[in-house]
Amino acid sequence: MPLRLFRRRQPERDPISPDAAALPVLVRRLELRARRLMENRAVGAYDSVFRGHGIEFSEVRAYQPGDPFQAIDWKVTARMGKPFIKKFVEERELTVLLIVDLSGSTDFGTRVRTKRDMSLELAALLGLAAARNNDRVGLLLFTDRVERWLTPRRGRGRLRQLLHVMASHRPKGQGTDIGLALATAVRSLKTRSLVFVLSDFQGPEFRKELTAASRKHDVVGLHLVDPGERSLPAVGLIEVRDPETGAAGVLDLADPRTRKGLARFAEEREQRVEDLFRRAGADRLVLATDRSYAADLAAFFAARAKARLH
């Protein structure tokens, strides 16, 4: 059984599944927060990633100073006696899929929010960015099984529909099967898409599925972490429970070796995930629950836009 960081035993709670009366308020609050972030100038870089993945021929026109030399159409230039270039436009059609991890380990947080709460906020922001560009947006919720699948669509009210499904869904599973989620996405998506995977990536190996998905789609992993996974206070004996298996036990956090062992394991796990994404040719961004994610996302997408220009 893979080692996971346990959490304190405490009354059960389900932050992503409020009661029916509070659900509309939560959905509206998430939508308003996403809109405020999108209005922030620093977050304007989000739009740079929501663009088509191909180019198509548009027209031939006369060469102008500053045009790239590589764009010259030599056949037309020879026939007309002066330089002409081929003009291309980027395909605007784009499908965005949000793959959201609802496994037991995401219900962990020691500071501002749990990883599951953070994934809901991120999905709201990414969904709004896609909806503003009139792109198709879909949703895949998973644990150790595919919990929900919403086919990518566009239209008014699409964002609120996705948020309602995410906020109201009560997971049937507790474990994690990222490979199954990725394989389902590859099998279901008919065109090249932008795929966001929101997860803490705690689960069985998924190298094969990630590599296959990256070959067909633009995959971005948003790796959700909590500072408590690396640094726990020396509070002595605590009763803990594995959020995915339910196994219970006792940890002595007063022992420096215990704390160092947990920190080392968390670092090694993050390194394995980083190596996996790099070898698969997919992008990955680490986002922590104890800090604002807006600036990190904006910088990440700005770097992607700059890389595309080059």
Are the C-beta atoms of 15 and 114 separated by less than 8 Å?
yes
Confidence bin at 145 (pLDDT 50/70/90): very high
pLDDT in tens, 182-226: 999 999 999 889 999 999 998 889 999 999 999 999 999 999 998
Which pLDDT does position 242 carry in this prediction? Answer: 67
**What is residue 308's predicted lDDT score, i.e. its pLDDT?**
62
- Residue type, position 227, single letter: P
Global pTM? Answer: 0.76
Q: What is the pLDDT of residue 10?
A: 39
**CATH assignment, 15-51+94-309:** 3.40.50.410
Residue 41, pLDDT above cutoff 80: no
Determine the pLDDT at residue 273: 95
In the chain, domain spans = 15-51+94-309, 55-90
Determine the Cα–Cα distance for residues 73 and 62; give it in Å rounded to an integer.
10
Backbone CA torsion sign across 249, 252, 257, 260: positive
- What span, in angstroms and rounded, lies between the C-alpha atoms of 83 and 63? 5
What is the rounded distance in angstroms from the CA atom of residue 279 to the CA atom of residue 289? 26
